[in-house]
Chain A
Amino acid sequence: MSTNNPAPPADTAPDLPQDLEPTAPLSDEATDKKRERPISRSQLVWRRLKRKPNFWIGGVVIAGIALFAAFGGMINVYELNEQDIYNFNSPPSSQHWFGTDSIGVDLYVSLVHALRKSLLIGFLAAPLATLIAAFFGSLAGYLGGWVEMLMNWLVNLLLVLPVFYVLMIVSPMLASQSWLILVVAIGAFGWMIMAQIVKNQTKSLKDREYVKAARYMGVGTFTILHRHIIPNVASLLIVDAAIGVSGAVLSETALSFFGLGIQPPDISLGVLIAQGQNAAITRPWLFLFPAAFLVALLTAVNLVGDALRDAIDPTSEVNRA
């Protein structure tokens, strides 16, 4: 996991023209020998990333779903919760592209709105959880002592009591609140697993020579964490943030499915799937469309996360056995 930055430029002029593409330090990226400035870490990651088919497949699907959620409503004549009394339980047709439910509500429009809510929840809650995990995990692993003990107790407590149960217990409180509170709740209870893994990795990292050297030079705790520990667990964090998005959407979906999250008439994927559940056998479109969108979205998110992992962690690419 050698993810340290390449050495900073020493001899080049500070003001290279912007249109010159910088040179990569690694052989497979070094296409042009003339240019001397080493490329930055994010450029390096981006170069690897754009060669991953998974990244493009996942990215295109996410972008497609996001565009559908944002603008899909414009190309349809129906309003949310508008009832078409001539078409109850209509299968997908030219009039109702995804069919209608038992009271004639157009599923296409419902899906657009449901996706909006679920996307927002997922993409807000997951980074929140990962940030908390990175912070507490590395701090506890690095400092040890009572900080570690405190985190162990907190983490273990929340692990003995599964997250979904905590969310279930607080759900009566969420029901009357804005959906943003649901985001905070999902984020605030979703960081424990990752924090524990980060902590364990940090414990083995903090005895490495470069960390010791930094410490003995008087570098502050947070700088060491930021500069030496976090980059070394970045691959884990990124896999976590990616799987976290799907985890957050899953939490929302599951809570809403059992009537404990987003409450009708407000709508999300979980609400839609719950409504389609009883019709799954007789009117499959009511269940299959929302379920397919959910699975497609989450799969795409996971694909992007995996591509990111490979791009960030060069050892897994170069030294494959």
Chain B
Amino acid sequence: MIKYLLRRLVNYLILTVIATLFAYIAASSFFFPRRKYLTSSEPIPEASVDAILDRVNMNDKTPVLERTWRWITDVFTKPWIQKLNEDLNGDWVMHQLGLRAGVSLQLLFAGVLIGAILGVTLGVWGAVRQYKASDQIVSYASFVLISTPTFVLGLLLMVLTTWLNNSLGFQLIRFTGAYTPGVEDGLPKLLDRLNHMILPTIVLILFSAAGYSRYMRSVMLDVLGSDFIRTARAKGATRNHALIKHGVRVALIPMSTYFAYAFGTLVAGSAFLEIIFSWAGMGQYGINAVQVSDVNALTGNVCFTAVIILFSSMLSEILYAALDPRVRV
């Protein structure tokens, strides 16, 4: 069992490395960082643009393979902070990642955890009460929520909150940035941070819970028709016992696969929210990187994303093995 999980971990580590390398090579081939300097208001001499791009290893005059080789040697030889080189703003990518990781993780963690639990519960509940009024309400609500991109939902909540704040006459819910600058330390600061978390967290929870509940309901309905549920009932198990002990457990097996993969969507969804709500997080860094063709910043962001997905995938593997004895071979 432990051996199996360790093997999976090694697998995922290799995948993370390949994904990062792939992102670097693809971004190096497709991005055109020189554009930033070509379109600036006063023309910059080509030689100095070359010098800037050479320093961050993004010069399109150097072949991609050569740049990749330099990037790999950098990763292995440079001190920790310099490993992923500088972004186009002249800051170390590793330094930026360090600053931004916490911001993104607090948002993701709340969204994933509460969203998954809420979604799975609603899914089971809906399947058991198929076509009843409560199932219909949850169903229609999650249909609408699945169909709403996080940035649309975020913008909508911003409009509503602005109206609310205006009608109240003071800022009840603040939603610009991750915190208000200049708030004193201690309790006020904590409250201020929590206040800023409200809107983006609500969006993430709603979005992920809606997805989970649809899939869970779908899988659970398949399970409810199975013979083993009938057998359990025939052998004298109560309805709840048969449903939860036998039904939910089996239904969670495909869900544990979905769990890991929904996480990727959530990471992207949370990146949109960071842009909408002006959070200086990882997702904002990544999307900005694409917009300005910053290869190094993007690679750093991909690496970080791959690592957190690695963690969620390992969690899903553990869940899968715990739920389904057949894979423990």
Contacts and interface: CB of A to CB of B under 8 A. Distances in A.
Interface of A: 1, 153, 156-157, 159-165, 168-173, 192-193, 196-197, 200-201, 204, 235-236, 239, 243, 246, 250, 253-254, 257-260, 273, 277, 280-281, 284, 287, 291, 294-295, 297-299, 301-303, 306, 309, 313, 315-316, 318-321
A30 to B, nearest CB: 21
Contact of A295 (B18, B27, B144, B218): B144
A260 B290 contact: yes
A52 B11 CA distance: 45
Nearest to A53: B136
> Which of B261, B287, B310, B326 has the most chain A CB atoms inside 10 A of its CB?
B261
B291 interface: yes
B44 interface: no
B222 interface: yes
A120 to B, nearest CB: 18
B216 interface: no
18 contacts: A156-B12, A160-B306, A160-B310, A162-B264, A165-B268, A169-B298, A170-B30, A197-B257, A197-B258, A257-B149, A280-B158, A295-B148, A298-B146, A298-B148, A302-B147, A318-B225, A320-B225, A321-B224
Contacts of B309: 159-160, 162
B213 interface: no
B132 to A, nearest CB: 10
Nearest to A236: B218
Interface in B256-277: 257-258, 260-261, 264-265, 267-268, 271-272, 275
B117 interface: no
A294 B146 contact: no
Contact of A161 (B139, B152, B224, B305): B305
Main secondary structure of the interface of A (DSSP, over half): helix
A130 to B, nearest CB: 15
B313 A313 contact: no
Contacts of B271: 164
B290 A169 contact: yes
Nearest to A57: B140
B32 interface: yes
A196 B261 contact: yes
